Amino acid sequence: MLAATATVALGTGAVAAGCGGGGSSGPAATRRPAGSPVSGGSIVWGRDTNIGGIDPHIDLTGLDVDRLVYSYLYDWDPLTETAIANDFAESMEFPDPDSLEFIFNLRRGVMTQPGDCPGADEELTSEDCKQSFIRRGTSLTAIDKRFPQKIAGSKDPAALPPKLLTPDPYTFSFSMAEPFAPAIREMANPTWAIVPAKVMEEYGLGLAQRAHGSGPFMLNEFRGSERVVLEKHPNYFHAGRPHLDKVTRVIITEQSSLLVAFKQGQHDINGAALTAVDYQDMQDDVDFIVARAPQFFYTVIHTKMRPPFDELKVRQALDLATDRDELIRVTQDAQGDYNGPIQWAQTRWALPQQELRDFYKYDPDAARALLEEAGYRGGISTKLKFPANEPGFGRLADTASLLQDQWRQVGINVELVEQELGSYINSTLLPGNFDLTLFANVPSDEPDRPLAFYHTLGVTGTGNWTNYSNLELDRLIDAQSRELDEEKRKDLIWQAQRIILREHGPQIPLTGGYTYSAHWYYVHLPYEIGQGVPQVALPFGCDIWREQT
């Protein structure tokens, strides 16, 4: 996976840090000539969900804001699976042939943002990296602790700090206790922000509605259900960046109102979930730039491993009662494909589409027969919980309603229970308080995280919320995470997925469609969705500019 003995200079290039390839994409609309970037001005960017918090190590609802406010070690191109050293790390070294040792040579002159906060206008150093890794890896509420546990060689939080080394202010290093193939991708994840150590010391867990970083923008105003206003960091280390003086995220949770506001010119970048019809209409309008890419949010049904869903025949009946072709037609504008345990957009790792279509047959008669064999001749009554207005997948309610109709035909009667997103995550999903739940998992372009949902220890390394356990599957998931040879890893990943298919859960994957973006012609982005990140791209937000100031 990594260059074994070389020092890789990242200043203008990239280090191959994965397996190449990624999701296919549809073409972006033809753009007008870019012209020369203009400094100054502001943009308004629509958003369809409330922001519960902007603490990058803990909150998931504000990661788009976190990427603008904080520095990261480096950026990532998901299509080519390469790291791009445009941020705090100037270069990386991998002296261990087994890719266990990581040495980051840090950029000098990366300054924290000015203002009334601890450590303002000070240089970011290796100590800030260390303390950020400790906080991200050990906080009780931090997500997915498997990577820091691989560094620590233990689940004991006290084992991590001694493994994170800071031999000087511009060198940060650690050694893994065992190989971990997703490591390079993981550190470019938006949750691995480098938060100044003095800020963490001062505020502890109190960063949900405040932010003091070293990224291209500074937080000016936070109203998580209305707007978030960001202003240009005047001392940002990339000279002349960002181009914009201000970015405002405006939140309107009603989709049609959000889209109308965009078309009326109130927003410069659209935030509403677009349909294929919207995409086509705006593609034909010279005022807009639109693009299309496979949807990396992937919708699944979580089944709790307790009666009746601990019975394999019942889970199989759910699969047979689900008409995936109708889901694609009705909820994805007839444009999509079947997902396996790894969604179809991850083309390098997903099972062949024909294999999935041959397996996930729609057969309500067989579903009814299996329910009767399992002792449920009179049918099953239960609840299907799901979040309202789930980010990235605005038609979750439509999917739930369609599933309700399909399952009713075989005697599985579900009451739909729609919950506010924050309440759903905290009271339903994370504690496993459900029999059935419908959720759009966070997008992933690395296969390890989708598989980890099926591991006995789950994505957090402490347990999954479905009570599912399969030791053979655990072995395969663990093995693929350690395997650095691409073809061998792919074989392990396919083996694991085929076991999951035969188990019909505990997550039952559905289908995936496309996501669409739109912005006014005068807004210039360095790349559109579905396109690779250029090797010369600067950190997120730096290279956005507008013709009108």
Q: DSSP readout, 13-29?
A: SEEE-S-------PPPP
Residues 321-335, mean pLDDT to the nearest whole number: 95
H or E element at residue 349: none
Whole-angstrom distance, CA of residue 42 vs CA of residue 247 = 6
Partner residues linked to 383 by β-bridges: 415
H or E element at residue 276: helix 276-283
Whole-angstrom distance, CA of residue 220 vs CA of residue 222 = 7
Cβ–Cβ under 8 Å, residues 389 and 419: no
Cβ–Cβ under 8 Å, residues 181 and 482: yes
pLDDT at 25 over 60: no
pLDDT at 27 over 80: no
Whole-angstrom distance, CA of residue 56 vs CA of residue 207 = 9
Cβ–Cβ under 8 Å, residues 216 and 65: no
pLDDT at 89 over 90: yes
Cβ–Cβ under 8 Å, residues 222 and 54: yes
- Local confidence band at 366 (pLDDT 50, 70, 90 cut-offs): very high
Total Cβ atoms within 10 A of residue 405 = 10
Q: For 7, phi and psi rounded to 5 degrees? A: -90, 125
Note the pLDDT of residue 433. 95
- Local confidence band at 23 (pLDDT 50, 70, 90 cut-offs): very low
Residues 498-516, mean pLDDT to the nearest whole number: 95
**For 284-320, what is each residue's pLDDT tens digit?**
999 999 999 998 888 999 999 999 999 999 999 999 9
- Local confidence band at 78 (pLDDT 50, 70, 90 cut-offs): confident
Query: Boundaries of CATH 3.10.105.10 in the chain?
Result: 298-512
Note the pLDDT of residue 535. 87
**In this structure, which amino acid lies at residue 223?**
R
**For 108-148, what is each residue's pLDDT tens digit?**
999 999 998 999 999 999 999 999 999 999 987 777 788 99
Residues 341-349, mean pLDDT to the nearest whole number: 93
Note the pLDDT of residue 452. 92
What region, left, alpha or beta, does residue 379 occupy, with left being phi > 0 and alpha being psi -120 to 50 degrees? Answer: left
The rounded percent of the chain whose pLDDT value lies above 90 is 77
Q: Which CATH number fits domain 7-248+515-546: 3.20.20.110, 1.10.760.10, 3.40.190.10, 3.20.20.70?
A: 3.40.190.10
Residues 46-65, mean pLDDT to the nearest whole number: 93
Query: Boundaries of CATH 3.40.190.10 in the chain?
Result: 7-248+515-546
- Which residue's entry shows tokens 């020092």? 7
Q: What angle do CA 403, 409, 413 make, to 5 degrees?
A: 65
214-223, 443-452, 485-494: least confident range:
443-452
Whole-angstrom distance, CA of residue 211 vs CA of residue 65 = 10
Cβ–Cβ under 8 Å, residues 347 and 78: no
The DSSP output letter for 269 is B
Cβ–Cβ under 8 Å, residues 102 and 87: no
H or E element at residue 84: strand 82-84
Count of CA atoms in the C-beta half-sphere (13 A) of 495: 15
Cβ–Cβ under 8 Å, residues 91 and 9: yes
Q: For 113, phi and psi rounded to 5 degrees? A: -75, 150
- Local confidence band at 34 (pLDDT 50, 70, 90 cut-offs): low
**In this structure, which amino acid lies at residue 52?**
G
137-141, 410-414, 502-506: least confident range:
137-141
CA 488 to chain CA centroid, Å, is 25
- Local confidence band at 33 (pLDDT 50, 70, 90 cut-offs): low
Polymer length in residues for the chain: 549
Highest CATH level, class, for 298-512: alpha beta
- Local confidence band at 171 (pLDDT 50, 70, 90 cut-offs): very high
Note the pLDDT of residue 22. 36
Note the pLDDT of residue 147. 92
Q: In 297-341, where does DSSP find H-type helix?
A: 312-320, 324-331
pLDDT at 156 over 70: yes
Alpha-carbon distance values, 141 to 56, 60, 207, 308, 492 (Å): 11, 11, 13, 31, 31
Note the pLDDT of residue 462. 76
H or E element at residue 261: helix 255-263
Residues 6+ away with beta carbon under 8 Å from 385: 417, 418, 419, 424, 428, 434, 436, 437, 438
Average pLDDT, the chain: 90
Total Cβ atoms within 10 A of residue 36 = 6
66-70, 252-256, 391-395, 494-498: least confident range:
391-395
**For 264-280, what is each residue's pLDDT tens digit?**
999 999 999 899 999 99
Radius of gyration, alpha carbons of the chain: 23
**For 183-200, what is each residue's pLDDT tens digit?**
999 999 999 999 999 999
Note the pLDDT of residue 295. 86
Note the pLDDT of residue 6. 30
H or E element at residue 340: none
- Local confidence band at 18 (pLDDT 50, 70, 90 cut-offs): very low
Whole-angstrom distance, CA of residue 545 vs CA of residue 438 = 38
28-32, 80-84, 334-338, 377-381: least confident range:
28-32
SS (H, E, C) 480-548: HHHCCCHHHHHHHHHHHHHHHHHHCCCEEECEECEEEEEEECCEECCCCCCCCCCCCCCCCCCCCEECC
Note the pLDDT of residue 99. 78
Residues 6+ away with beta carbon under 8 Å from 355: none
Whole-angstrom distance, CA of residue 469 vs CA of residue 467 = 7
Note the pLDDT of residue 375. 96
The rounded percent of the chain whose pLDDT value lies above 70 is 93
What region, left, alpha or beta, does residue 46 occupy, with left being phi > 0 and alpha being psi -120 to 50 degrees? Answer: beta
CA distance from start to end of the chain = 45
Count of CA atoms in the C-beta half-sphere (13 A) of 535: 11
Query: Strand pairing of 507-509 and 514-520?
Result: unpaired
Residues 6+ away with beta carbon under 8 Å from 212: 112, 113, 115, 117, 118, 119, 120, 195, 196, 199, 219
Cβ–Cβ under 8 Å, residues 151 and 176: yes
Partner residues linked to 441 by β-bridges: 298
